[in-house]
Structure 1
Amino acid sequence: MGIQLDLDHPTLFHEVDGENMLAWIDGLPAQLESAYRAGLSLPLPENRIYRAIILTGVGGSVMAGDLFASYAAGLCPLPIFVHRDYDLPAWAKGGQILVVGMSLSGNAEETLAALEAARRNGCAVMAFTRGGQLLELAEKNTIPIWRVEFAGPPRASVGWFFGLLLALFFRLGLIPDPARDLMATIEAMQAQQMQIGSEVPTRQNSAKRLAGQVVERWVSVFGSGSLAVVARRWKSQLGELAKTWAQFDVLPEADYNTVEGVANPPDLVPKAYAIFLHGSRDHPRNQLRTQLTQRTLMLEGIPTDIISARGDSAMEQMWTALHYGDYFAYYLAMIYGADPNPVDRIQSIQADLAA
């Protein structure tokens, strides 16, 4: 480990966090609101009658696609597919399929390939980006562009992409007016910040305490329903911010396979740590499964914890749980002395692909 910081001295975080990732985490509630308001006045595609919508991208840029698809599952009459790959499925043909390319940098080759496939297949196309080749492609082919006015890294832009999707689907008449739900979500996130923000001492800050508990452990994050995609976000942030190995799993599926994987290798099992994301809106059977799965792992010697999402609505619980995970991953990065900003291994692979 590098420099290890005492979490009760946040004024020293800059010694590790030279580019101030903490500011992007702190600003997430405001980011959500700004993006939604921006999306209310951006250009819509000419054709507005669809039978399916594909959100395509990779990494942090498309994480909001997962979140939105989960949020809208009970609201939107159309199927929403999140696509993290090249090209498109065979059924994605014709103007009644809307493909939204999501890339903050505009240079993700997978997203560009999917958008080119969409154009070849005659699909309706939109671009969410702040520049790069995606912007050039959109301008050249008169594709509607929704600019992401965000200066930070892709993993910190999740609020922007979600807010734009929220505005897009509302303006297409596919979801009810989300304004009241969004404002309640922002207020819930801000209230939670008063309890887990960097200035709150560890003895009163559950996110800091959780970070301390998982040091030198392999973390698995479990979620169900709308919190399953949040578990994926936690896993991603643990990797990109804290530079630590993590995985995510989904209930009820994990009860049909993962729970058996607790015996071998015996010297590594005690290094595991399971975190369960819980929401009052989870299916009652999944709430029971969370308790039973936690008990099963604890009896096998694996320490566990349950993090309960704040708020009443699905959006509130999704975003308060996500925001908690961002702070948690950041605090773990500070304990490890890991700069949460550079992603050298990701960039190395991208450079090799481009060579």
Structure 2
Amino acid sequence: MNAHSILDNPSEILTIDTTDMGQRISDTPGMLNSAISQYDKNDLFPSFKPRDIILGGMGGSAIAGNLVVDYLANDLNIPICVCRYPELPYTPTENTLVLINSFSGNTEETISMFHQARSTPCKTIVISNGGTLSHLAPKYGIPLVNMSIQGEPRTIVPYHLFLLIQILQPYTTGSNIDNDLLETIDVAKVYSKEFSISNPSAKNPSKRLAESIKNRLLCVYGGGLLSSLTLRWKTQINENGKSLCISDTIPELFHNTLETFQEFEKINKDIFVILLQQNQQPQWLRSRYTTIKQLLNRFDIKNVTITTNETSDLAQIIHMMMLCDFTSYYLGILKQANPSPNKVIDEAKKMMS
């Protein structure tokens, strides 16, 4: 059976995807709905007005943090950063809000962040599904938001994103956030069907894209609202697709990456570039996409521009994330690799323990 027919044969897919990860990805609308219905909207710190926010986490938990920063960029008028290190980027004060994110609750770096935050006068919230952090938070009187969902940490990122939006909502100036959340669930339902395993390649852009990028070095570039999604694409291609992927952001890549577009580069024929482009871009960003496209074509580097037609920022993020999740999943299937287990990552953790 050739690779193309595998993607149009659900039963064949399930012989590779033995944990039914495809179904978990398809249930993104259900995840988003659960994130809303399960979250207690009572303000965790009713009278607190933070002057700065630190979002601590690793892997999918950190990416959820990056995405919420992108989404709330115009509605959160205080400094906010994402920390991916065992040490917090600075010493929090009594005016700092620290969100400790770990789906498993056992991530070494995130536990270290927790203890550092606890030793300062900052306000701390733990978001977890269990493990050590779910034990430590109540022990020290720190609010715990329980992630009542099953799946890989990377699979539940949409759920995690919706939780973070709701936790941070009291500190924003946004008035349409509740509507955005509900409308985005309807958007997710549309793409869940379009990208589903049962939808054939002829009607399924995620399957066709997976076919296009197999056996190529994938580079994903994007800017503006979709900046952090370039990293989401990289990590999903790595973990689900078991493939190397390079990500970069606009305008930063204009100061370094563009210089690698050279005629003498023999690797050009093996590269495939995805340009993630948001709806309604500012002029400065639009001109840079045009320039990149022209340069890629000049040097015969295969590329595709993916633009979302959704209007709300949150719907655009979820659309592009779902396309990423399904495409990376199908890439793993094309390689005859079960997308779910991360055997090399797990081995590395054991080697360091």
Into which bin does the TM-score normalised by the smaller protein fall?
A: over 0.9
Fraction of identical pairs, as percent: 28
SS of structure 1 residue aligned to 2:175:
coil
SS of structure 1 residue aligned to 2:7:
coil
Q: Which is further off, 31-40 or 103-112?
A: 31-40
Give me the whole-angstrom Cα distance separating, in 1, the residues matched to 2:87 and 2:113: 4
Post-superposition offset of 1:263: 3.3
Name 2:29's counterpart in structure 1.
29
SS of structure 1 residue aligned to 2:224:
coil
Q: Aligned letter for 2:165?
A: L
Give me the whole-angstrom Cα distance separating, in 2, the residues matched to 1:169 and 1:204: 38
Contact kept, 8 Å, 1:93 with 1:123, in 2: the verdict is: yes
Post-superposition offset of 1:51: 0.5
Q: Which is further off, 146-155 or 157-166?
A: 157-166
Name 1:13's counterpart in structure 2.
13
Give me the whole-angstrom Cα distance separating, in 2, the residues matched to 1:310 and 1:334: 28
Residue pairs, 1:145-164, within 5 angstroms: 145-164=144-163
Q: Aligned letter for 1:25?
A: I
Residue pairs, 1:260-339, within 5 angstroms: 260-263=259-262, 266-339=265-338
SS of structure 1 residue aligned to 2:154:
helix
Give me the whole-angstrom Cα distance separating, in 1, the residues matched to 2:57 and 2:68: 14
Give me the whole-angstrom Cα distance separating, in 1, the residues matched to 2:283 and 2:29: 29
What TM-score, normalized to structure 1?
0.94
Residue pairs, 1:99-138, within 5 angstroms: 99-138=98-137
Contact kept, 8 Å, 1:129 with 1:148, in 2: the verdict is: yes
Contact kept, 8 Å, 2:77 with 2:172, in 1: the verdict is: no
Give me the whole-angstrom Cα distance separating, in 2, the residues matched to 1:54 and 1:264: 43
Give me the whole-angstrom Cα distance separating, in 2, the residues matched to 1:44 and 1:140: 17
Name 1:72's counterpart in structure 2.
72
SS of structure 2 residue aligned to 1:6:
helix
Contact kept, 8 Å, 1:310 with 1:316, in 2: the verdict is: no
Contact kept, 8 Å, 2:75 with 2:172, in 1: the verdict is: no
Contact kept, 8 Å, 1:5 with 1:337, in 2: the verdict is: no
Deviations 1:83-131 (A, max 9, x none): 11112123x3222101110000011111111111111122111100011
Post-superposition offset of 1:266: 3.1
Name 1:191's counterpart in structure 2.
190
Question: 1:236/1:5 Cα in 2 relative to 1: closer, same or farther (>3 Å)?
Answer: farther
Name 2:39's counterpart in structure 1.
39
Name 1:168's counterpart in structure 2.
167
Post-superposition offset of 1:43: 6.8
Contact kept, 8 Å, 1:211 with 1:329, in 2: the verdict is: yes
Q: Which is further off, 317-326 or 2-11?
A: 2-11
Deviations 1:298-340 (A, max 9, x none): 2112100011123101111111011111111111111111111
Name 2:139's counterpart in structure 1.
140
Q: Which is further off, 243-252 or 266-275?
A: 266-275
Post-superposition offset of 1:5: 5.8
Name 1:227's counterpart in structure 2.
226
Post-superposition offset of 1:217: 0.3
Name 1:208's counterpart in structure 2.
207
Give me the whole-angstrom Cα distance separating, in 2, the residues matched to 1:314 and 1:214: 27
Which consecutive residues of structure 1, in runs of 5 or more, have no partner in the other structure? none
Question: 1:84/1:23 Cα in 2 relative to 1: closer, same or farther (>3 Å)?
Answer: same
Q: Which is further off, 210-219 or 192-201?
A: 192-201
Give the paired residue count.
352
Question: 1:10/1:230 Cα in 2 relative to 1: closer, same or farther (>3 Å)?
Answer: same
Contact kept, 8 Å, 2:59 with 2:154, in 1: the verdict is: yes
Deviations 1:113-160 (A, max 9, x none): 111111112211110001111112112101100000111010011122
Contact kept, 8 Å, 1:4 with 1:336, in 2: the verdict is: no
Q: Aligned letter for 1:35?
A: A
Q: Aligned letter for 1:272?
A: I
Question: 1:281/1:164 Cα in 2 relative to 1: closer, same or farther (>3 Å)?
Answer: same
Question: 1:175/1:117 Cα in 2 relative to 1: closer, same or farther (>3 Å)?
Answer: farther
Contact kept, 8 Å, 1:5 with 1:334, in 2: the verdict is: no
Deviations 1:9-33 (A, max 9, x none): 1232111111011112111122112
Give me the whole-angstrom Cα distance separating, in 1, the residues matched to 2:115 and 2:225: 31
Contact kept, 8 Å, 2:28 with 2:192, in 1: the verdict is: no
Contact kept, 8 Å, 1:42 with 1:146, in 2: the verdict is: no
Question: 1:286/1:173 Cα in 2 relative to 1: closer, same or farther (>3 Å)?
Answer: closer
